[in-house]
Homo-oligomer: A and B are copies of this chain.
Amino acid sequence: MRRLRTLEQTELLAYMGKWLVISSAAAVLAGSASAFFLAALEWATATREAQPWMIWLLPVAGFVVGWAYDSVGKPVEAGNNLIIDEIHDPKKVIPRRMVPLVFIGTVMSHLFGASVGREGTAVQMGAALADQLTGVFRLKHADRRIVLMVGMSAGFAAVFGTPLAGALFGLEVLAIGRMRYDALFPCVIAGIVADRVCIAWGIHHTLYVVPFVTAVTFRTVLTVIVAGFAFGLVGLLFAKATHAVGGLMKRWITYAPLRPVVGGSVIAVSVMLLSTERYIGLGIPTIVAAFQHPLAPWDFAGKFAYTVASLGSGFKGGEVTPLFFIGATLGNALAPLLSLPVPMLAGLGFVAVFAGAANVPLACTVMAIELFGPAIAPFAAIACVASYMFSGHAGIYHAQRLGHAK
Contact surface of A with B, Cβ cutoff 8 Å? 5, 8-9, 12-13, 15-16, 20, 163-164, 167, 176-182, 184-185, 188-189, 192-193, 195-196, 216-217, 221, 225, 229, 233, 361-362, 365-366, 369-370, 373-374, 377-378, 381-382, 385-386, 388-390, 392-393, 403-404, 406
Contact = CB atoms under 8 A, between A and B. Distances in A.
Contacts of A225: 16, 20
B184 A361 contact: yes
Contacts of A403: 180-181
Contacts of A381: 163-164, 167, 188, 192
Contacts of A388: 184
Contact of A390 (B9, B229, B361): B9
A385 B168 CA distance: 13
Given A8-B392, A184-B385, A374-B374, 5 more contacts: A15-B406, A164-B378, A185-B386, A192-B382, A370-B374
A214 B84 CA distance: 35
Nearest to A373: B374
The complex is assembled from copies of this chain, and their number is: 2
A42 B373 CA distance: 32
A406 B221 contact: no
Contact of A16 (B178, B377, B390): B390
Contacts of A386: 16, 185
18 contacts: A8-B393, A12-B392, A12-B406, A13-B390, A15-B389, A15-B406, A163-B378, A163-B381, A164-B365, A164-B381, A178-B181, A184-B385, A184-B389, A188-B382, A196-B217, A369-B377, A370-B377, A373-B374
Contacts of A178: 178-181
Contacts of A229: 13
A389 B177 contact: no
Contact of A177 (B15, B181, B369): B181
A371 to B, nearest CB: 10
Contacts of A233: 9
Given A189-B382, A192-B378, A221-B192, A392 B16 contact: no
